[in-house]
Structure 1
């Protein structure tokens, strides 16, 4: 970084600079029933700030979407937060910010009936006056400083253009509507046009867009939200036009619909592999073993306690696996402060491929459990009754997993696993072009019905948000790796992949370090009276008890929480529904042939 001579003193002064935010709450009416409120804090420094929505003085966490802290392009910052709200008579909605420059939190109350605005003539007169004054000051400042500034710092961007990168993400808001977010990043100059399209036609209703925002350097970004009710067969896309582009850049959003009765039925189409489920299970075994080994480090990772054939009276022959997943250092800082030093999740899996049952319990939170049923079928996600459930409109949820174009966390990204550029040498499968889910014909689908039970007062909201944040990471990463590693496992037999699994499990346990008693891997099913696994696979989610001090007080309602990626089901239900978090391993091994 090169600083002009006269700027050095200003930089030194910034070390002691604080600037209090200005706060504003505005209304965007979306329908006759709900209102979208926008809270904006401007011109503050330093950038650390906390913004909170309040309803009658209590924190609101559901139906909230917040931007990151954004630079104004100078030394100041801004932040914005949206709240979708159904107004009720007599209630008070307010936005609160906490900042180092403030002696106490700054609160702005939303007024559903604001004072009558100035007339248009007064507005124009006032605006014109300040515009003229501002332009005059600007011209004088330029003339006064032009010679000195040019001698010290000259920057030329006359011929520079930078093309935008475009991304469409999903924010699930309810069982009926979906909030889509289109974002364009890193473009220059700032003039840009962003448009939502439905089957190629422009969409103008239920659209909210930000201004063009500076990144704080020479580049810009812009964001646009679309509240939408998905319909089967339609195509929603976001288009940007910019001087750097020879033709408009279009990003298509792909819609999948899922049904459930009391849980989330997640469908993951992985048919781009062009493999039937009988073949894919070898890839699944290979991926689970290799991924667990790669993610394990000294003192944390996946320890295999048992892995043995198992016979169930209802489901027949299968494989029972028990693992301990040590993850203390992988938890966020707020969780590490309260959990014990040795913290692990126990995974028990009963695999009767193509049907599996997996359950997770936590060594520290006895009120926390996850129950997962998985079925594999050779179709493209068309079975709405795979778990014997009848689809109901009020329990319909949109689920999207694009293994090629969804963004992978930076710590997990590998160029060799980027399916946009990967092509198998042995099978010649790949590359996956943009919009591949529209043009390919998947012939295999993994259906997952997931139920989560969690009742711990004080940690509930943060744990739920943490779980939601990492749900898609594990699903996305695992299926990407199964595809990207296809040349390593495509020629394996079931016996060969089982041997690889055993060798990798032993190596993983050694890599983690010494833990309580070791691995048990057997070739024949053990008698019921000598094995540690349960007598049969559970047909319903676990029911665990905890001390009273960990339970949610019955007289205090549990708060909803909704991170940007999904909307939580009603937390008043005992069974809150999530998908599989990334700190848990994938479903264990399918049964041997």
Structure 2
């Protein structure tokens, strides 16, 4: 059965600041989590510009074998949790599509709309009455503690945001009820549509993916705020340059990376001749990463 769940993540920053924070945090988290056997391979990263606007397209492969829940190994090998991601970032609107080569019928789509509010907008995605009837909504407090399996598997910041205060901005700590009191403020409205039509374990797989995405949202958004003194004042082009430089450094350090990426591209073919609008419409360690001077 198709499940529809909306996560609302309130953040103590402006829309413009969040764009930089999110890009910086994703880049740093991917850099830190890379191992010899697991991590992220970037197959393609390029701008797009069509009738839906300007944005940045990325294609990645995630190797997450060690994070496979034990129960899933009864239905698939550990390497089944290799995911291919395509993402269209036309900020403040984004769309991400995840697929798994082992479970070919599985699909997960994340549509994100960012608004300058504190999470009170009820239908930013313009859902129909039928969709609203099955939609579940959860508002995430990035300052709350998490102890579930996926938070442990993915990892989370050990910074206590109820005590953390930014030196450069003076923001924080995030005390009870902070969402209705902070300024600036914005919310990421993330709508997940997940479908795993497999008899016997499909619903459980859907729930596992929802829990995994929830844990990833919490971890990445905690980092967005706890790393604010690292990224505050940066621009989008500066973060793009960091992405490019780190990718080049990884390729220089690992001679087999290019071969691996090429093999992944063969496993997950992408028709770059297709127009973005035809593929996907937008419906609705505290060590900072160094920035080269003059970027």
Structure 2 residue runs without a partner (length 5+): 283-295
Alpha-carbon distance in 2 for matches of 1:497, 1:304: 16
TM superposition shift of 1:383:
3.1
Q: Is 1:484 aligned to 2:229, yes or no?
A: no
Match of 1:535 among 272, 275, 282: 275
- C-alpha change, 1:307 and 1:383, in structure 2 (3 Å) is same
TM superposition shift of 1:457:
2.4
Q: Partner residue of 1:353? A: 91
State the Cα deviation string for residues 463-517 of structure 1 (Å, max 9, x = none): 2342243232111111100000011111212221111111233445657964142
Higher strand proportion, which one?
Answer: 1
Aligned residues: 267
Q: Partner residue of 1:289? A: 27
Contact 1:370 1:453 in 2 (8 A): yes
**TM-score (normalised: structure 2):** 0.78
Contact 1:263 1:450 in 2 (8 A): yes
Higher helix proportion, which one?
Answer: 2
Could you say what secondary structure the match of 1:400 adopts? strand
Q: Which moved more, 1:480-489 or 1:379-388?
A: 379-388
Across the aligned residues of Structure 1 and Structure 2, the Cα RMSD in angstroms comes to: 3.1
Match of 1:306 among 25, 31, 44: 44
Q: Is 1:366 aligned to 2:108, yes or no?
A: no
Contact 1:296 1:511 in 2 (8 A): no
Alpha-carbon distance in 2 for matches of 1:512, 1:301: 16
State the Cα deviation string for residues 399-433 of structure 1 (Å, max 9, x = none): 12111123253562443x22122111111111112
- C-alpha change, 1:519 and 1:487, in structure 2 (3 Å) is farther
Q: Partner residue of 1:267? A: 8
Structure 1 residue runs without a partner (length 5+): 1-261, 521-529, 542-593
Contact 1:345 1:361 in 2 (8 A): yes
Could you say what secondary structure the match of 1:517 adopts? helix
Alpha-carbon distance in 1 for matches of 2:214, 2:22: 17
- C-alpha change, 1:540 and 1:457, in structure 2 (3 Å) is farther
Q: Which moved more, 1:281-290 or 1:396-405?
A: 396-405
Could you say what secondary structure the match of 2:140 adopts? coil
Between Structure 1 and Structure 2, whose CA radius of gyration is higher? 1
Q: Which moved more, 1:456-465 or 1:303-312?
A: 456-465
State the Cα deviation string for residues 544-590 of structure 1 (Å, max 9, x = none): xxxxxxxxxxxxxxxxxxxxxxxxxxxxxxxxxxxxxxxxxxxxxxx
Could you say what secondary structure the match of 2:179 adopts? helix
Q: Is 1:399 aligned to 2:144, yes or no?
A: no
Q: Is 1:458 aligned to 2:195, yes or no?
A: no
Alpha-carbon distance in 1 for matches of 2:79, 2:156: 29
Alpha-carbon distance in 2 for matches of 1:413, 1:477: 5
**TM-score (normalised: structure 1):** 0.41
Could you say what secondary structure the match of 2:21 adopts? helix
Could you say what secondary structure the match of 2:262 adopts? coil
- C-alpha change, 1:402 and 1:310, in structure 2 (3 Å) is same
State the Cα deviation string for residues 152-179 of structure 1 (Å, max 9, x = none): xxxxxxxxxxxxxxxxxxxxxxxxxxxx
Alpha-carbon distance in 2 for matches of 1:317, 1:371: 20
Contact 1:326 1:342 in 2 (8 A): no
Alpha-carbon distance in 1 for matches of 2:102, 2:264: 22
Alpha-carbon distance in 2 for matches of 1:512, 1:283: 31
TM superposition shift of 1:539:
4.2
Q: Is 1:320 aligned to 2:60, yes or no?
A: no
- C-alpha change, 1:447 and 1:341, in structure 2 (3 Å) is closer
State the Cα deviation string for residues 13-57 of structure 1 (Å, max 9, x = none): xxxxxxxxxxxxxxxxxxxxxxxxxxxxxxxxxxxxxxxxxxxxx
Q: Is 1:447 aligned to 2:227, yes or no?
A: no
Match of 1:334 among 71, 87, 106: 71
- C-alpha change, 1:381 and 1:414, in structure 2 (3 Å) is closer
TM superposition shift of 1:345:
0.6
